[in-house]
Amino acid sequence: MSALLRNFLGLLLLAAACLPLAAQAQSWESLNTQQKEALGPLSSTWNSLPEKQQTHFLAIAKHYPKLTPQKQQLLHSRMETWSKLTPEQRNRAREKYKAFNKVPAEQREAVKKMVREQQANQAASGTAPANAASH
């Protein structure tokens, strides 16, 4: 009987040990310095983000130190906009990004040039750029 009890308790302990893995919600205060630096723009909204989204952003934070300062700045400027999108919108954006990257490089550059010109014109005319919020 003691063997039965030992096995049962062993499995229960294993289950208890797995619980923290299943529930990964983390408060802003519990994040380490590197994570806080990477996720800075989300500091005020972090605690209200769904667990799944927190997990995604924590995965992004792991890559943050490897980015150039310019890319880190870009990431920070767009992070809040990205966090406000619905999961469907983010999935659609990923699909579009993948599709756009399959377009020949010359055409991609042409599109990027066109967008830059459009932004410059809007800035010159004093109109707020349509995608300023995402920058």
Partner 1 sequence: MNHKLNTKEIGQLLNRSAAQLDRETLDKLLSARRTALQYQQKEQQAPVLAWLTEHGVIHHHSTPFHKAYNLGMVALLIAFLVGGALYWQQTYEHDHSDIDIAILTDDLPVDMYVD
The answer to whether the CB of 82 falls within 8 A of the CB of 92 is: no
| Burial (Cβ within 10 Å: 0-12, 13-18, ≥19) of residue 39 | buried
The correct pick among 28, 36, 53, 78 for binding partner 1 (CB under 8 A) is 78
| Burial (Cβ within 10 Å: 0-12, 13-18, ≥19) of residue 78 | middle
Written as six digits, the tokens of 59 are 């995965």
Q: Which is nearer to partner 1, 36 or 129 (CB)?
A: 129
Q: Does 92 bind partner 1 (CB under 8 A)?
A: yes
The correct pick among 9, 13, 25, 67 for binding partner 1 (CB under 8 A) is 67
Nearest to 122 by CA among 114, 111, 110, 80: 114
The correct pick among 63, 103, 117, 121 for binding partner 1 (CB under 8 A) is 63
| Site residues for partner 1 per CB under 8 A | 3-4, 7-8, 11, 14-15, 18, 21-22, 52, 55-56, 59-60, 62-63, 67, 71, 74-75, 78-79, 81-82, 85, 89-90, 92-94, 96-98, 100, 111-112, 115, 130-131, 133-135
